[in-house]
Amino acid sequence: MQNEIVVKSFIYQEGTFYILIVPSIQKEPIAKAKSQLEVRRKAINILRNNYK
């Protein structure tokens, strides 16, 4: 955990999907999934890959 970045994120439901947004990084949704847990996992993996 050498290079930790703390960000605020928001999850909202759109139809049958959950959408995760991190306003300080980008305005568009970062991840979309059928469950809140899955959308969090996807977003964490995407952010890790973008900030290696």
Q: Where are the domains of the chain?
A: 10-50
Per residue in 16-25, pLDDT (tens digit) is: 999 999 888 8
Is the pLDDT at 14 greater than 90? The verdict is yes
pLDDT at 48: 85
CB 46 within 8 A of CB 20: no
Nearest to 24 by CA among 44, 11, 10, 41: 10
Cβ neighbors of 10 (< 8 A, separation 6 or more) are 20, 21, 22, 23
pLDDT at 7: 80
pLDDT at 1: 55
Q: How far apart are CA 34 and CA 23, in angstroms?
A: 21
Residues 8-35 have a mean pLDDT of 91
In a 13 Å sphere around the CA of 31, the CA atoms on its Cβ side amount to: 20
Is the pLDDT at 31 greater than 80? The verdict is yes
